[in-house]
Structure 1
């Protein structure tokens, strides 16, 4: 619900934002279909029966096609940025020391026997 605070109150602007969002969703659906087809083709080439398997040269060509398609999709994704989207902030984790108000207890545990059984 945080997006509602950033929305404009003008109806025409809201309608254009909605149309842009629907167009973006349509493009994403098209990309998903293309990627699913690429994955299906890749699986067929990799796991198909022996009569359907392709040679290694054709397999490399298929990989090149997949890499080119993925690069094109990444380029489209970079162009397709929502106007209201904010960059994600990294999660803040405290991996430093414990707070100063906690007591520090150092306990040294010495081994019972320093000499091992082999005599070294």
Structure 2
């Protein structure tokens, strides 16, 4: 149940991102299935590829005191856009979109936790 809630939170965060920021959008005619698929791909990329990117960029991340993680998050968003119906207007748009997506996901996580829908996740 926790996986399903996390998937729906990611899907809602991606949808809200496309409504708030014009640099990231879904292809015309993309429905709820495309949003859920993009959220699923985002989860897989975050679980499998992002840790490798963070490990490879560790020296730069240490030098920048962790700020390079924002660049890694932008690359992750561009990877998701490359394989789904998500459109990103460029690296700058991916950078801003990744920051906004993080903030939106954080707020949605707070709401899910406050409602007790997190499935016992701490």
Do they fold alike, i.e. is TM over 0.5?
A: no
Q: Which one has the bigger helix percentage? A: 2
Structure with larger Rg: 1
Q: Which one has the bigger strand percentage? A: 2
Q: Which has the higher contact order (CA 8 A, sep 6+)?
A: 2
TM-score by length of 1: 0.31
